Amino acid sequence: MYPVMKKILLVDDDRLQFRIMQGFLAALPAGGYELAWASNYAEGLAMLLSGDYAAGLLDYQLGERDGLQLIREATARGSRTPIIFLTAETAERVDLAAMDAGALDYLIKGEITARILERSLRYALKLGGTLEALRLLTTRDQLTGLWNRRELDRFLKDECERAMRFGHSLGLVMVDLDHFKRINDTHGHPVGDIVLREVARRFNRQVRSVDRVARFGGEEFVLILLQTDLTSAMDVARRVCAAVARDPFFTEEQHPLTITASAGVAVLPNHAADARVLLAMADRALYAAKLQGRNRVIAASDLGRVA
């Protein structure tokens, strides 16, 4: 069985540097690395954002822009690839600037050997894995794997400000599982956990990759829908509720459970101009849906008609 090759990305405008790095990696006794090359800033950014690489080697000089800018932009746009910074300079200020920008290690080109490169890659991969595990612990709900409440608040604030700035709409759906307490009381919390994990999986299948699904708390969930008007947000809300009710959930003993969900929908700028009010309006609409008998979707626009 062949070992799994770790894909490494080199961003450098010098083809010779690519050949040199290829030679270093080929000289390693254990092998295990496959080197890809991006010759400019834009290409390097796109490849980093693909998430296909175990680590990145970034040159300091990249034409009009530099590797420091590239690290910052890639990180700001969601790249989690561990970065090793390469430069011909020996100035301490470059070293510190690279670390401040987010690089995990720093190598001077004239001093690189196969052994030094391999050691740096091992260090960056191990540290990068540790940092990613810590990030998941602080940003994800441990039971469902969805974004947690703190990340929800951050996403919602950022996306509301962005939507208002560019004149886009933003949809918010708050979903609650109907009579969920009965499941915990009748079948126990482990079964309730099974249901919550399966609900999270079904919700993720109903939204786009650009949207956000978070666990608000208990059996409540929130969906942030980018550039989504009221009609489309209502369609999504109906789909996620249908995804809950359509197929039964199963206990570990394969006992089927039928569950329904209620949802409230609010849209910026129709119902609010900031994150706090948008969330409050969706919550009010959800409360109205539950008062009206559950297993339904209500928009904030309809609150006067259902009060």
d(CA 151, CA 195): 22
d(CA 249, CA 196): 10
d(CA 159, CA 255): 41
**Residues known to be catalytic:** 219
Q: At what angle do helices 180-187 and 189-205 cross, to 10 degrees?
A: 140
d(CA 212, CA 205): 12
Q: Which residues contact 170 (CB under 8 A, 6 or more apart)?
A: 159, 160, 163, 224, 225, 226, 227, 228, 267, 268, 278
Q: Report residue 150 as tokens.
A: 């703190």
Q: Report residue 22 as tokens.
A: 């290829």
What's the gap between Cα 261 and its chain centre? 25
What's the gap between Cα 19 and its chain centre? 34
CA 17-19-23 angle, 5° bins: 115
3-class secondary-structure state, position 157: helix
Do residues 106 and 181 make contact, with C-beta atoms less than 8 angstroms apart?
Answer: no
Strands 105-108 and 33-38: unpaired
Do residues 213 and 147 make contact, with C-beta atoms less than 8 angstroms apart?
Answer: yes
d(CA 62, CA 67): 6
Going by C-alpha positions, the residue among 66, 68, 71 that lies closest to residue 40 is 66
